[in-house]
A = this chain, B = another copy of it.
Amino acid sequence: MSVQIYKGTIVTSETIDTLEVYEDAYLTVEDGVIRSIGDNIPDTYKDLPVTDYGRSLLIPAFSDLHIHAPQYHERGVGMDCLLFDWLNTYTFPEEARFADTDYARTAYAQVIRDLLRHGTLHANFFTTIHYDASDLFFRMLQKSGLYAFAGKLNMDMNSPDYLVEETEQAIADTERFVAEHPGDDHVKPILVPRFAPTCSEKLLKGLGRIAESYHVGVHTHLVESRAEAAWAAELFPQYGSDGAIYEGCGLLGHGPAIMAHVIFPTEVEERILEKYDVVSVHCPDATTNITAGIMPVRRMQKQGFRIAAGSDIGGGHHTGVYTQAARAVQLSKLKEFYEPENERLAFANAFYMATAEGGSVFGKAGRLAPGYRFDALVIDSMENEGKELTPLERLERFCYIGDDRNIRERFVDGRRIDPEEVYRKMLGC
């Protein structure tokens, strides 16, 4: 049995509204799982060495539940455009480059390395329509140490000529992808229809059959903006709303359902979120960049819906999902300003999204507590010389002004991960 003992200030979500703080506490890990947290070391381990992190914080790893991995190289470009201009000018041409697996390898290696640098140790990815690049990406993830979901993207209509699938082939390729990539305890396949307006009913029903046969989940966009929702409803009058399309085509209920944005859920969407235990993903920077509006996060949290956080690279520009915890608080204040019936988020609510809720999709992860995997980060104290801060202030400060330089260590399953070493390994895939 492998045992490690760490000392430091531990901060973790206890509930959606509360953070737990253990100052100068000991955390013991047995075979990658947390055994104890507290002022003392269990007697059995009294004689083992202790790694002391001083005033640094030990916190759960971050989970990013919505990332377009192939858009990493265009982050922060064309950000004053509106959505469809941005897609046509920047995004679709960039995704088309992933027909070239050599380009895909360097690009994907960079995004995986940088997610690790920024403390994202659990992630849920979009890829592109290309089988070979998606296959390569899946294999790279399996060597990365990340916990992840990934699949092959689908789009067979309302797409550029150079980036579109033929329907039957799309279904066949996707079935082959799922069959050939059963995954392991770290990396699992997921179905990824881009969004309803770029997928025919035939394609979506084909994906629904695959979901049922192979027990795989689905990752897509849901009511991303008023325009998108209206377009989806117009294209699919037989279903009438964005959420009902995915339900009607049989995509829900066979694995995790992870839906990005969910800014304007109707009663139909709310029923679907509840029935299928959907994880909605709040991506504050992205929904700002595409001028979509502001998700009613606090109201939905209080209704009991599951909401995680996402970078939405490249609609969002920041790699670290901790930045999105801060941005979620900021956006909630703007929503409260414009729509006063919406209460703003407390920092604890936002941190919960980026760790505990997101982590829950990847097993016992996202919190530091006995029985949870030791998927964790060690963060600098975040204090300026001459000024001490409380543990909660230090954590909040990291999310607001920290960056990858402030992350001293990354652990998955209790094992230290070095982003640069992973990067070199990825390039060899």
Bound together, the chains give a CA A336 to CA B334 distance in angstroms of 13
Q: Contact between B110 and A400 (Cβ–Cβ < 8 Å)?
A: no
The segment out of A14-22, A232-240, A287-295, A366-374 that lies at the interface is A287-295
Chain B hits for A293, CB < 8 A: 337
How far is the CB of A105 from the nearest CB of chain B, in Å?
9
Q: Contact between B333 and A334 (Cβ–Cβ < 8 Å)?
A: no
A292 (CB) vs chain B CBs: closest residue: B337
Please tell me if A231 contacts chain B, counting CB pairs below 8 Å: no
Q: Contact between B326 and A384 (Cβ–Cβ < 8 Å)?
A: no
Q: Contact between A329 and B384 (Cβ–Cβ < 8 Å)?
A: no
Q: Contact between B291 and A79 (Cβ–Cβ < 8 Å)?
A: no
Chain B hits for A25, CB < 8 A: none
Bound together, the chains give a CA A334 to CA B294 distance in angstroms of 9
Write the A348-387 contact mask toward B (1 if CB under 8 angstroms, else 0).
0000000000000000000000000000000000101111
Please tell me if A244 contacts chain B, counting CB pairs below 8 Å: no
Chain B hits for A79, CB < 8 A: 326, 329-330, 347, 396, 400
How far is the CB of A79 from the nearest CB of chain B, in Å?
6
The segment out of A34-42, A55-63, A267-275, A338-346 that lies at the interface is A338-346
Please count how many residues in chain A sit with their CB below 8 Å of the partner chain's CB atoms.
Answer: 50
A105 (CB) vs chain B CBs: closest residue: B386
A75 (CB) vs chain B CBs: closest residue: B401
Out of B291, B344, B382, which one reaches A80, CB within 8 Å?
B344
Q: Contact between A106 and B76 (Cβ–Cβ < 8 Å)?
A: no
Q: Contact between A76 and B317 (Cβ–Cβ < 8 Å)?
A: no
A326 (CB) vs chain B CBs: closest residue: B79
Bound together, the chains give a CA A400 to CA B333 distance in angstroms of 21
Bound together, the chains give a CA A288 to CA B333 distance in angstroms of 7
How far is the CB of A4 from the nearest CB of chain B, in Å?
31
Please tell me if A318 contacts chain B, counting CB pairs below 8 Å: yes
Write the A103-116 contact mask toward B (1 if CB under 8 angstroms, else 0).
10011001000000
Chain B hits for A107, CB < 8 A: 384, 386-387
Query: Which among A80, A294, A345, A399 has the highest number of chain B CB atoms within 10 Å?
Result: A80
Point out residues on A near B: beta carbons under 8 Å. 72-80, 94, 103, 106-107, 110, 285, 288-289, 291-294, 317-319, 326, 329-330, 333-334, 336-338, 344-347, 382, 384-387, 389, 393, 396-401, 403
Provide 15 A-B residue pairs closer than 8 Å at the C-beta atoms, listed in order of the A residue.
A75-B400, A76-B396, A78-B393, A79-B330, A80-B329, A94-B387, A103-B386, A107-B386, A110-B384, A285-B330, A291-B333, A291-B344, A318-B401, A319-B401, A403-B403
